[in-house]
Amino acid sequence: RSQARVEHKRLALEIETHNERYYQQDAPTVSDATYDALQRRLEAIEARFPDLVTASSPTQTVGAAPARGFAKVQHAVPMLSLGNAFSDAEVAEFVERIRRFLKLGADDMPAIVAEPKIDGLSLSLRYENGDLVRAATRGDGFTGEDVTANVRTIADVPHKLNGHNIPTACELRGEVYMLKEDFLALNKKQQEAGDTVFANPRNSAAGSLRQKDVSITASRPLKFFAYAWGEMTDRPAETQNDMLEWLRDVGFIVNPLIQLCHSVDEVLAFYRRIGEQRATLGYDIDGVVYKVDRLDWQERLGFVSRSPRWAIAHKFAAEQAMTI
Ligand SMILES: NC(=O)n1nc(-c2ccco2)nc1N
């Protein structure tokens, strides 16, 4: 019994420390699973020795710390990751594979949409009758976390799609990110408050989004670029480029640097130009993405294992770690 009392005290202290770091500082020290195991251990001891339960026990805290994980969301259309090209030759091979697969003539060039690859975290937004009903992180591509309440605080995300030809149900996708200058200002504030300092804008966006306390998310300068979609009851356009136009029309921010290309040379010129502009962009990118423009061809090309055959990321050489 005295051993139980000692362990009860240790567990209660450990759980309170984890709570403080998780809820106040968004700097979890243990995984959700480990935390849950600690809670269960404490509850087991209190079940055997009810007199150890005190008002201050973590099992008794007002509104007992909400379950730490977020609700899980199954993506109707998986959010798959892109294959990578690291050289011009690999880009040319990507285009050649597409031509062969589509049985296009040797001089037939499939139009390609070239997009800066935003280095944030991808998000899927579900709209029903034009209203935002759910927002989910990518997770492992098949199961993500429900972060709807947090996402409602992001100004770039429309709560209602505007315009007419709105599908009954659609999942629109894009990247949540933080501007470099906002990231530096946030870190300065965090440091002064003795709170978590983030390693880079991507981590600060992810940490700010996945907050149980929505008011913390609301206080963080999160932004959003739309660039893709999942389930669509009826599709308003037949090419990637026109879909991006539609996303702008219904109220999203779409990256203004995106370009429709009609040759491999044009694609590679885009890559170089964005590479030169990279340091002057307000946000982090880690490459560019090339997508076949025609959606019927995207469907025919489908996916190879987990990545699309119809799209590829062309990464920049790893940049020097950002000095904070
Ligand atoms: N991260 C980013 O900017 N992405 N990611 C895609 C993507 C991923 C899968 C399909 O499309 N497209 C863009 N612009």
The pLDDT tens digits of the residues spanning 152-206 come to 999 999 999 998 789 999 999 999 999 999 999 999 999 999 998 999 999 999 9
Ligand 1 atom showing the smallest separation from residue 117 Cα: 3
- Of 32-36, 100-104, 141-145, the poorest mean pLDDT is in 32-36
Tell me the per-residue pLDDT of 202-255, one tens digit each, with 9 for 90 and over. 999 999 999 999 999 999 999 999 999 999 999 999 999 999 999 999 999 999
Residue with tokens 């999160």: 222
State the chain's mean pLDDT as an integer: 90
Residue with tokens 């026990």: 57
Q: What beta strand segments (E) does the chain contain?
A: 72-74, 83-85, 112-118, 121-128, 131-137, 143-145, 169-177, 223-232, 259-261, 285-292, 303-304, 307-308, 311-315
Residue 78 has pLDDT above 80, yes or no: yes
Number of residues that make up the chain? 324
Residue 324 has pLDDT above 50, yes or no: no
Closest residue by Cα to atom 11, ligand 1, is 228
Q: What is residue 64's predicted lDDT score, i.e. its pLDDT?
A: 42
Residue 270's closest CA among 83, 46, 112, 93? 112
Asked if 208 contacts 182 with a C-beta cutoff of 8 angstroms, the reply is no
What's the average model confidence in pLDDT over 65-82?
A: 82
Residue 60 has pLDDT above 80, yes or no: no
Q: What is residue 67's predicted lDDT score, i.e. its pLDDT?
A: 43
Considering only CA atoms, give the Rg of the chain.
Answer: 24
- Of 8-22, 88-102, 180-194, the poorest mean pLDDT is in 8-22
Q: Band of the pLDDT at 68, cuts 50, 70, 90?
A: low
User: How many Cα atoms sit within 13 Å of 182 on the Cβ side?
Assistant: 17
Quote the ligand 1 centre to 101 CA distance (angstroms): 22
Residue by residue, DSSP assigns 6-19 as HHHHHHHHHHHHHH
- What the block records as the tokens of 269 is 């010129």
Quote the ligand 1 centre to 122 CA distance (angstroms): 8
Kindly list the protein residues whose Cβ atom lies closer than 6 A to any atom of ligand 1. 82, 115, 117-118, 175, 227-228, 289, 311
Q: What is residue 323's predicted lDDT score, i.e. its pLDDT?
A: 46
Q: What is residue 134's predicted lDDT score, i.e. its pLDDT?
A: 98
Active site residue 117: yes
Alpha-carbon gap, residue 91 to 111, rounded angstroms: 14
Of 80, 118, 177, 288, the one to substitute when testing ligand 1's pocket (max ligand atoms within 8 A of C-beta) is 118
